[in-house]
């Protein structure tokens, strides 16, 4: 009788772990792709952590947080233009914040790493992690707050 119970429990355990229950993720093909070694060689340690490992820099550590000159913020990994300076605002969060992206250059996904769902942002060209977008931005514009890691960006001032 003990063997039958043991077999039944084992069968139940494995039947709940079928391939139909597993998340099937397909890797998106990006225009710019590199090996992990190539990214490590190109990026700083902090940029690699943020862009390739979906890390987060500490708040108030990026010099780009207070950058308000006219210009464009580009992906630090592949030079895709992501945000315009005229859409930047001080959210008080400690990360560069924008009320909108340059359309077509930012891709979106979901992030459940903190136990709840957040809208994650990636560079649409190389897939680098940028940050997250929230619905608590300026109400007089889009209402969005694109909360972006400064390490994921490079700023090029207008001439």
Number of domains in the chain: 1
Residue 58 to residue 111: CA distance in whole angstroms: 18
Region 126-147 average pLDDT: 94
Active site residues per annotation: 147
Range of the domain at 140: 36-157
d(CA 41, CA 62): 21
Residue with the bigger pLDDT between 6 and 21: it is 6
110 located within any domain = yes
Q: How far apart are CA 129 and CA 35, in angstroms?
A: 16
- Rounded CA-CA distance 153/134 in Å is 19
Q: Look at residues 158, 157, 159, 156 and name the one whose alpha carbon lies nearest to residue 75.
A: 156
Structure tokens at 16: 């709940």
Residue 29, pLDDT score: 81
Do the domain assignments include residue 115? yes
Percent of the chain with pLDDT over 70: 82
Q: Is residue 17 included in any domain, yes or no?
A: no
Q: Is residue 71 part of a domain?
A: yes
Domain CATH code at residue 83: 2.170.150.20
Q: Is residue 106 part of a domain?
A: yes
- Residue 20 pLDDT class (50, 70, 90 cuts): very low
Higher pLDDT, 111 or 137: 137
Band of the pLDDT at 16, cuts 50, 70, 90? very low
What pLDDT digit, counting tens, does each position of 131-141 carry?
Answer: 999 999 999 99
User: In the chain, what's the furthest Cα-to-Cα distance?
Assistant: 83
């Amino acid at each position: 009788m003990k063997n039958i119970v043991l077999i039944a429990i084992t069968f139940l355990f494995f039947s709940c772990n079928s391939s139909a229950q597993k998340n099937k993720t397909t890797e998106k093909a990006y225009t710019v792709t590199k090996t992990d070694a190539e990214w490590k060689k190109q990026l700083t340690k902090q940029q690699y952590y943020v862009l390739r490992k979906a890390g987060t820099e500490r708040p108030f550590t990026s010099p780009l947080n207070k950058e308000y000159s006219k210009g464009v913020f580009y992906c630090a990994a592949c030079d895709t233009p992501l945000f315009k300076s005229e859409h930047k605002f001080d959210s008080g969060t400690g990360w560069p914040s924008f009320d909108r992206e340059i359309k077509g250059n930012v891709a979106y996904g979901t992030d459940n790493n903190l136990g709840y769902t957040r809208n994650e942002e990636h560079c649409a060209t190389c897939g680098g992690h940028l940050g997250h977008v929230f619905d608590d931005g300026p109400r007089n514009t889009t209402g969005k707050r694109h909360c972006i890691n400064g390490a994921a960006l490079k700023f090029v001032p207008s001439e």
